[in-house]
């Protein structure tokens, strides 16, 4: 262990150092409370053996600082006093000391305190390691709970959380944002003729294409089934359309064969619908998504493999919109 001996008496320092070194420990020496504190914050000390009375910071104040300001790691503190006063011992314990010694120090007493110190500091290091592992495991569990298992994109839960955050931020900053919904064209026909395993593979390939194509600040999620949602924070209408077209074109460029598709080109394509929220709008998140869905419905009705932007006429279509597949 690395032990810091803080004492203004040279004889006491030498005796304690000799005892600790003989037991195989590394020793640092401080001649007053202030220099002891500098060691404590910079030298990775495991055990502090500190005199009660010292220039600068006294022993109890050093204990309090260790417990209040160095809580990220555990330092075992032993107060050394020339007074075998029970009230003083309790005062030191209340300040944060783990144990105490009385002068003149006895070698056996020092050895027994250091054995206890090594046991306690080892246990605290193990607890820190376990805590760090648990934090990593919790972070991974949280990540998985927000990730779609098939595509690796954000799932519906992650999407809803991010949409609420983006909407609140837009209201707060007075900046617009966009939402685009995408749906595979004739995906049922693809599944029927190529099989569901091939359909899952296409979903994964297209999802990777989405992930590669989105720009900084944009996010894409699996909305459900073969539908995906693109969130465009702080985005103007023209930019939202450009982003949606970029996504649509990226999927077409994959050139995944879809020979049973009744329209050209005979490759997997997607249709998209875009909706915007603008400052001053009374629309909520769900209504923005419904407008994007209505625009997607219009894209499907217009021949597919295209992007349509929602306008006011879609407000009348928000109820009962259904997908064309």
Please list the active-site residues.
226
Please list, in sequence order, all residues whose beta carbon lies within 8 angstroms of the beta carbon of residue 253, skipping any fewer than 6 positions away.
none
Give the Cβ contact number of residue 14 at 10 Å.
13
Instruction: Show the tokens assigned to 256.
Output: 């995944």
Cα distance between residue 226 and residue 248, in whole Å = 14
Instruction: Show the tokens assigned to 99.
Output: 């144990």
Q: Which residues pair with 273 in a beta bridge?
A: 181, 308
Of the candidates 275, 277, 279, 268, which has an alpha carbon nearest to the alpha carbon of residue 314? 275
Cα distance between residue 147 and residue 218, in whole Å = 16
Of the candidates 243, 255, 108, 270, which has an alpha carbon nearest to the alpha carbon of residue 183? 270
Cα distance between residue 223 and residue 200, in whole Å = 15
Burial class from Cβ neighbours inside 10 Å (0-12, 13-18, 19+) for residue 155 reads buried
- Phi, psi (rounded to 5 degrees) for 96: 125, 0
């Amino acid at each position: 262990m690395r032990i810091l001996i803080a004492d203004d008496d040279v004889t006491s320092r030498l005796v304690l150092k000799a005892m600790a070194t003989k037991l195989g420990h590394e020793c640092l020496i401080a001649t007053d409370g202030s220099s002891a504190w500098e060691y404590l914050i910079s030298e990775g000390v495991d055990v502090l053996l500190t005199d009660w009375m010292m220039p600068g910071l006294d022993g109890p104040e050093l204990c309090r600082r260790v417990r209040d300001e160095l809580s990220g790691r555990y330092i075992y503190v032993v107060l050394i006093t020339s007074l075998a006063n029970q009230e003083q011992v309790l005062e030191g314990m209340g300040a944060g000391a783990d144990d105490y010694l009385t002068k003149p120090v006895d070698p056996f007493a020092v050895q027994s305190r250091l054995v206890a110190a090594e046991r306690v500091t080892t246990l605290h290091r193990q607890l820190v390691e376990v805590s760090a592992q648990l934090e990593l495991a919790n972070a991974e569990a949280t990540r998985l709970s927000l990730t779609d298992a098939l595509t690796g994109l954000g799932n519906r839960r992650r999407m809803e959380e991010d949409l609420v955050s983006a909407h609140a931020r837009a209201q707060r900053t007075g900046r617009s944002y966009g939402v685009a919904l995408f749906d595979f064209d004739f995906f049922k026909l693809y599944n029927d003729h190529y099989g569901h395993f091939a359909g899952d593979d296409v979903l994964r390939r297209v999802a990777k294409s989405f992930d590669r194509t989105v720009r900084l600040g944009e996010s894409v999620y699996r909305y459900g089934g073969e539908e995906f949602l693109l969130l465009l924070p702080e985005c103007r209408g023209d930019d939202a359309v450009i982003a949606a077209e970029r996504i649509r074109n990226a999927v077409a460029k994959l050139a995944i064969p879809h020979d049973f598709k009744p329209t050209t080109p005979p490759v997997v394509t997607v249709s998209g619908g875009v909706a915007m929220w603008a400052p001053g709008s009374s629309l909520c998140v769900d209504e923005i998504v419904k407008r994007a869905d209505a625009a997607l419905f219009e894209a499907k009705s217009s021949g597919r493999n295209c992007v349509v932007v929602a306008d006011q006429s879609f407000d009348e279509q928000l109820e009962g919109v259904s997908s064309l597949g």
